[in-house]
Structure 1
């Protein structure tokens, strides 16, 4: 009804605007690990937009943008235990401890926005816009590190805990630095708000400068459950595989390390546009 009313007041006037923009932001993959929030990181985005003017003051717009997020969390100590099988197929309890554990996540999203914008008249205009963005994951990865990784194996049938030998996957393995691995975040839905100043230039050109807020409405945690943060590999026990805390379970607490993951970004947006 609002859009129909605006169209009715436009007296047949139509105008198109195409724009290119960049946004520098503080952003993060927003989640909580053991009551500790993820850290705010630097991020960026850029894109192109198209707007159709319903009247002199109102327009609706869409486009495409690339947005980059980082996430980071630190835990001074992580301990866990679970049952598995050793190289000979014998059941045992695998125990591990990580010191100074840190995990970083990196994600690229292709966003398709849909928004409505209001702006005042004259050469220098104030504008405000609101809408939503549908975000498609292009790439997401994670990497983990720790100052030390210590493991042991407890065999209940023998009532013995082994902290060696190393080739069985037991012992102090020192610092851990894992290479980047695929994370697999899912499609995102974002609430978008922005406001600022629009300067009308010659030849139907315009320059925008404003602030924006992108607030994730949807949990984008990976659908695939990777199980354990440190996974025992019975075929190659020295190769201790690490999963992401975003999709791993802590067996001691019987809970995921992270309940949900959302995106958050805010900062400065500059935009150059031309109308026809």
Structure 2
């Protein structure tokens, strides 16, 4: 589905540029790059969240239907980063070992640090303004954000796994081949997000280098208006594998749960908003000249 949207959007942009190639009155094409705060904004029910830096690059096309006002679109690639830190969390749920015996799997995770990264394609629709002397510009509009690749990574995860067998009234902290004991593991994988609707604003100055080439310097703000978090089926943070117990899997805080003090499973995250703000540099080609 995402690939179809990207292909249609690119085809539409190419069609717009081609259709207007013969009538160059009031047309600008820009190659841009920006950098600054670029993060996945969310609150975790456990631990701390730190925002990250990132940026974007791409193409902007603007058709000016009057001397000062125009409508723009384009295509960009944005990179978002965030980090979650948790001093300690506990996992507890009923499971079954490879012999078919029921037990309560318990895991204590300490000093956990996870980094999340997301690459997103953006398709903007911007209403643009420029002063009569073409020195200052501003723009407001919306952008469709298409998550392409989202991942998480955690290094040296400290886990203490035990198994409590109620019929024996015994809690085992070994052997390791049953997944019980102290472990250090690296963990990584993919995260699945929904499409983002983003409101955007920018303003700055334009510096002419020649009759039809200029440089724009400015600032921008992008703010997601919808929650891109996908509801998950309630996976616990540590997934016990009864067939290969020593190969248990650690998931991301973005798609898992932990056990609260009352024994009830709690989601780490329930809302994720992409946010970006920073400086923008554009090389502008005035096609009307």
1:112 alignment counterpart? 123
Question: Partner of 1:177 in structure 2?
Answer: 186
Paired residues for 1:65-144 under 5 Å: 65-122=76-133, 125-144=135-154
> Residue 163 in 1 paired to residue 173 in 2?
yes
Between structures 1 and 2, the one with greater helix share: 2
Q: State the SS of the aligned residue for 1:38.
A: strand
1:205 Cα deviation (Å)? 2.1
For this pair of structures, how many residues does the alignment match?
261
Q: Cα offset for 1:164?
A: 1.1
Contact preservation (8 Å) 2:89, 2:258: no
CA apart distance, 1:206: 2.3
Report the alpha carbon displacement of residue 139 of structure 1 after superposing the two structures with TM.
Answer: 0.8
- Residue 191 of structure 1 corresponds to which residue in structure 2? 199
Confirm or deny: 8 A CA contact 1:30 1:37 kept in the other structure: no
Q: TM-score, normalised by structure 2?
A: 0.85
Alignment counterpart, residue 251 of structure 2, candidates 237, 240, 243:
243
Range with greater deviation from structure 2 (57-66 or 200-209) = 200-209
Q: Is the contact made by 1:189 and 1:218 (CA closer than 8 Å) also made in structure 2?
A: yes
Equivalent in the alignment of 2:5: none
Structure 1 alignment gaps of length 5 or more: 1-12
Classify the secondary structure of the residue corresponding to 2:177.
helix
Q: Deviations over 1:242-262 (max 9, x none)?
A: 111111122334321011111
User: In 1, Cα distance between the equivalents of 2:143 and 2:48?
Assistant: 24
Is residue 233–residue 240 contact of structure 1 (8 Å, CA) maintained in 2? yes
Query: Which of 34, 37, 56 is residue 67 of structure 2 equivalent to?
Result: 56
**What's the CA shift string for 1:179-202, capped at 9, x where partnerless?**
x31112221111111111122342
Report the alpha carbon displacement of residue 38 of structure 1 after superposing the two structures with TM.
2.2
Name 1:9's counterpart in structure 2: none
- Structure 2 runs not aligned, ≥5 long: 1-23
Given that residues 29 and 38 in structure 1 are in contact (C-alpha distance below 8 angstroms), is that contact kept between their aligned partners in structure 2? no
CA deviation after TM superposition for structure 1 residue 34, in Å: 2.5
Question: Cα distance 1:37–1:131, how it changes in 2: closer, same or farther (>3 A)?
Answer: farther
Are residues 51 and 201 of structure 1, via their aligned partners in 2, closer, same or farther at CA, if it must alter by over 3 Å?
A: same
Rounded Cα–Cα distance in structure 1 between residues aligned with 2:175 and 2:213 = 71
CA contact (8 A) 1:226 1:244 kept: no
Q: CA deviation at 1:211?
A: 0.4
Distance of 2:205 and 2:49 partners within structure 1: 32
CA, structure 1 residues 132+86, in 2 after alignment: closer, same or farther (shift >3 Å)? same
Pairwise CA RMSD: 1.7
- Determine if contact 1:31/1:37 at 8 Å carries over to the other structure: no
Q: How far apart are the structure 1 equivalents of 2:157 and 2:231? A: 29
Change (3 A) 1:79 1:266: same
How much does 1:69 deviate? 0.8
Q: 1:154 to 1:170 in 2, by over 3 A?
A: same
